Structure 1
């Protein structure tokens, strides 16, 4: 069941992961019911497949919005995913920097500068995206599997092809 407005209570500086279907949108909670996030033009609650168009955007806007306007009816969770790896920056520094960026248009790249990179840099001082890393790992795995599959087919074709030639010459 999706969390409701009364379940998880974020604290200022918390990262919130919103499940949009094929990907996650990330925001940082700044208090009083507001979040700040990097949003390509197609990114909004309940955008569905249309939000996937963010992959073609090269600019995004830093927005401050009410959490429920961003979450909409999607599932979400508080996910300070790198707390075990990095020391979070002081909350006041996180909030001050996030607030100073509101309204700015920033470069956007799904692979090198997406909403997850944006919030992890605010919280930890390190721009990282686990969903990009996971997609790359899956892509590499699929690529390797495809290459192995092609190699097996090529070997089989060579073996069976040579046997067929032997039969034809006999």
Structure 2
């Protein structure tokens, strides 16, 4: 995973560490980022980005990085650079600027803030957070199915014994 020391450069992915998850933004330059935020929230706080988890729509916003980060921490994390070549910076910024103010679909697993910024940087929407969540749900579902099946088989075995 590539994480960089120093200040962000235009086109960099910014990973913001919220208490229960990471929020993602793309650095535009001059202290500004672009990110998705819930439509019904004007706030730039952690609460606003947490609210987007429960929303099906989001608005693309250009905001000051320091306002979006608030009291949380962040780092530059262009973590997919070894897998997907970044687009030229001028193209990343141009694509991002065209989206400012637009309403977009939002889905934690299929179209979240990390998907949004990786699509701008790489031309491909990817999200490690979403992949981890899907894997965890699949493992939980399989485990629950195995427990249910074993319970069923055990109860049938007991019925036959009597």
Give the superposition deviation at 1:75. Answer: 2.4
In 2, Cα distance between equivalents of 1:132 and 1:39: 17
1:145 aligns with 143
Indicate conservation of the 8 Å contact 2:37/2:49, yes or no.
Answer: no
Instruction: Report the Cα distance in structure 2 between the residues aligned to 1:14 and 1:109, rounded to whole angstroms.
Output: 23
Query: Which of residues 36, 52, 55 is equivalent to 2:53?
Result: 55
- Specify the alignment match of 1:127 in structure 2: 125
Which residue is equivalent to 1:156? 154
- Number of residue pairs the alignment of both structures matches: 156
5+ unaligned residues in a row in structure 2: which ranges? none
2:109/2:133 contact within 8 Å kept: no
Q: Unaligned stretches of 5+ in structure 1? A: 1-6, 166-170
Counterpart contact for 1:45–1:73, Cα < 8 Å: no
RMSD across aligned C-alpha pairs, in angstroms?
1.8
TM-score (norm 1): 0.83
Task: Tell me which structure has the larger Cα radius of gyration.
Answer: 1
**After superposition, where does 1:108-119 map in structure 2 within 5 Å?**
108-119=106-117
CA contact (8 A) 2:23 2:49 kept: no
